[in-house]
Amino acid sequence: MKTAIIYVSHHGTTERVANMLKEMAREETDVIDLKKARNLDLNSYDKIIVGGSIHAGKVQSKLQKFCKQNETILTSKPLGLFLSCMEENEKANAQFEMAFPQTLRSHAISSKLTGGEILFERMNFLEKFMMKKIAKTSESVHKIKEDQIKALAVDMGLFN
Ligand SMILES: Cc1cc2nc3c(=O)[nH]c(=O)nc-3n(C[C@H](O)[C@H](O)[C@H](O)COP(=O)(O)O)c2cc1C
C-alpha cells in the first residue's frame, strides 16, 4: 500500500505535520508539497491524505483548487484530511468545514484538526503586526496536536 501525504504550508507547520505522519508510517508514503508538485499522478497511490492551514480565516486557494479539480479521484480512495489552525472548538470546526468541500468531508475516513504554531521568526512585518494584535503576544507558540496526528495515522492504517 502506498500513501500520498499532500500539503500546502505557509510557515512550515503543515509541512511538519505531513513529515510527522510519514515518520509514524510503517508503509510507503510520499510527502508532496503542492506548491512544488508537477505532474502529480494520484492514480499511483492507494490512499491519500490532504492537509492545509488557515490564515485570516481562509485556507490556501491552491488547496481549494486542488480539492475541486481532483474531487472524483479523491472520493474514489481512502481519504484523510487535516488542518493546521490556532482556533479551537466551534471556530476550528467552522474553519475545517470551509477549508474542504462537503463531498470530501463526507467521504473522508479521518478528519483531524492538528493544532498550529505561531512562528514569529518566519513572519513578515505585516503578519507580525497582525499576530501581535490578534494573539496579543510577540512570542512564538507551539500547539501541534500529536495525539490528533497519531489518530489520523491510525485511522488511515499507516501502522499496518
Ligand atoms: C497572518 C496569520 C493569520 C492567521 N489567521 C488564523 C485564523 O484566522 N484562524 C486560525 O485558526 N489560525 C490562524 N493563524 C494560525 C495559523 O493557522 C497557524 O500559524 C498554522 O500553524 C499555520 O500553518 P502553516 O505554517 O503550515 O501555514 C494565522 C497565522 C498567521 C501567521
Cα–Cα separations (whole angstroms), residue 5 to 2, 54, 76, 102, 103: 10, 18, 16, 20, 19
Question: Of residues 130 and 149, which shows the higher confidence score?
Answer: 149
Bridge partners of 149, per DSSP, are none
pLDDT at residue 23, rounded to an integer? 97
Ligand 1 pocket mutation pick from 58, 85, 148 by most atoms within 8 angstroms of CB: 85
Residue 130: pLDDT above 90? no
| Res 73 pLDDT > 90 | yes
Residues 104 and 76: beta-carbon distance below 8 Å: no
Report CA Rg, the chain: 15
* pTM (2 d.p.): 0.96
- Structural domains in the chain, CATH included, are 2-155 (3.40.50.360)
Q: What is the mean pLDDT of residues 100-129?
A: 95
Match 468541500 to its residue by C-alpha cell: 101
Ranges 108-112, 118-122, 124-128, most confident: 108-112
**Could you tell which of 55, 62, 132 is best to mutate to test the pocket of ligand 1, judged by most ligand atoms within 8 Å of the CB?**
55
At residue 84, does pLDDT exceed 80? yes
pLDDT per residue over 53-68, tens digit each? Answer: 999 999 999 999 999 9
For residue 101, how far is its CA from the centre of ligand 1 (angstroms)?
20
Residue nearest to atom 21 of ligand 1 (CA): 116
Q: Model confidence over 11-34: pLDDT tens digits?
A: 999 999 999 999 999 999 999 999
Summarize the confidence of residues 115-130 as an average pLDDT.
92
